[in-house]
């Protein structure tokens, strides 16, 4: 029997930003650190005492991006019906990376366990990131 872990992270989905360089070395931008911490906090609240998943995993992400403020009602309806899809940042691969990295050590030992990943980007009046992880044991 296949089990599923589900996590909803409220707020505008963000992608992982590239490392930055300074005179003292490289660092991860604060915006990325804060968002990864937020995902971790949501996971710990939702799954206290969780035992790490083992084996091959499949991850599905649905990024619900905020509908732009100056959108006509006609266009908004098409966005809500998933006819018009976001073709703007954050890039799909950066959304995957921030989610996979944030859950490493909490949901699974290492993100190399993820063998399949599906991501969708849609518009919504309620922005959020929905994460589902499927594995043999949860």
Question: Domain spans of the chain?
Answer: 3-135
Question: Cα–Cα distance between 53 and 138 in angstroms, integer?
Answer: 6
Q: Are 71 and 125 in contact (CB under 8 A)?
A: no
Would you state the pLDDT for residue 29?
Answer: 82
Say if domain 3-135 classifies as CATH 2.60.40.10: no
The pLDDT-based confidence of 137 (bands split at 50, 70, 90) is low
The pLDDT-based confidence of 24 (bands split at 50, 70, 90) is confident
Q: Are 129 and 99 in contact (CB under 8 A)?
A: yes
The pTM assigned to this predicted structure is 0.88
Would you state the pLDDT for residue 1?
Answer: 39
């Amino acid at each position: 029997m296949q089990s599923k872990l589900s996590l909803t992270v409220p707020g505008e989905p963000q992608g992982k930003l590239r490392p930055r360089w300074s005179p003292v070395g490289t660092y991860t931008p604060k915006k990325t650190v804060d968002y990864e911490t937020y995902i971790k906090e949501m996971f710990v609240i939702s799954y206290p005492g969780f035992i790490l998943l083992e084996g091959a995993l499949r991850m599905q992400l649905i990024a619900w991006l905020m509908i732009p403020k100056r959108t006509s009602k006609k266009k908004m309806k098409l966005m809500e019906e998933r006819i018009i899809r976001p073709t703007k940042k954050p890039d799909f691969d950066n959304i995957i990376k921030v989610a996979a990295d944030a859950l490493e050590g909490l949901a699974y030992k290492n993100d190399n366990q993820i063998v399949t990943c599906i991501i969708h980007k849609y518009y919504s009046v309620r922005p959020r990131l929905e994460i589902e992880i499927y594995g043999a044991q949860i």
